[in-house]
Structure formats: structure tokens, C-alpha cells
Amino acid sequence: MVYTAYIEVQSKGRRDVIDITARVAEKVEGTGIRHGIATVFVEGSTAALTTIEYEPGLVRDIDIFLEQILPYAAPYRHHETWHDDNGAAHLQSALLGTSFTVPVVEGKLTLGTWQQIVLIDCDTRPRKRKITVQILGEK
Ligand code: ZN
């Protein structure tokens, strides 16, 4: 069976890190799938999905790390194309990725205790994000 569910998130932008683990788990558990995979995907080229230990220190570390390698204020060719200001956000998204897959075993996501699924909205302004959760497997 294949199930598709959606999660909507309002972000503040500027690398807002939002823990969506409980919402993804709820979608998976709602299907009754016992064994399979869950793919999580965010629409848009300035947001990212990954897993981290969701605690304030690491959330800040991610922000500092991305600013060091892809600062918002640097000159990007993308700004010349569209007179846009979010070249860094596109590159941060491309670096982190917009999708990943989690195995589902015995009806649960196989995440570690200190491993949360997070949306990182890299854009320079608040955004409403649509995340697709597709669950494939057997009951
Ligand atoms: Zn752009």
C-alpha cells in the first residue's frame, strides 16, 4: 500500500529550525503500516529536511555553521538574475537536501532517541511550507 499525507508548517525564515518528528510519526502510525519506508519531502528550493538532536545548542550550531559556509550577505549570481536576496538560502537547501527516507519497523519510525526530523527554512522571509509524507509498506 501507498499512503500520502501532508504537513503544513509556518516558518519564520532565516534558518528557522522546526521539529516535525511527532507530526511525521502521527501520519505513519495513522496508516497502520507495520513494515516499509516513509519518505519525507519539502516543496521549495530554499528549505531543507534533515535529522539533528533537537536541542537549543545544536540548533544554534547549525545556524552558525551554515552562516560560516554560506553567509546571507555574500554576493550570489542568483541575486543578479532575479534581483532576489536569497542566494544563500538556495545553496543551503541544496547542500542539506529536501528529502529523506526513514525505515518503518513494527509500525514505528526507526529514529534514534536523540534524532529528530527537522525542517530548516533557509529563506530570508517567513514562509508557509508543505511537506509530503509518503508511506510505502505492508500491514
Ligand atoms: Zn531565489
Domains of the chain: 11-138 (2.60.120.460)
How close is the Cα of 106 to the center of ligand 1, in Å?
41
pLDDT digits (tens, 9 = 90+) for 39-64: 999 999 999 999 999 999 999 999 99
* CA 89 – ligand 1 centroid, Å: 8
The residue type found at 127 is R
The percent of residues above 70 in pLDDT, for the chain, comes to 100
Among 52, 78, 60, CA closest to 16: 60
Q: Structure pTM?
A: 0.95
Residues measured by CB to lie within 5 Å of ligand 1, the ion: 84, 86
> Residue 33 C-alpha to ligand 1 middle, in angstroms?
38
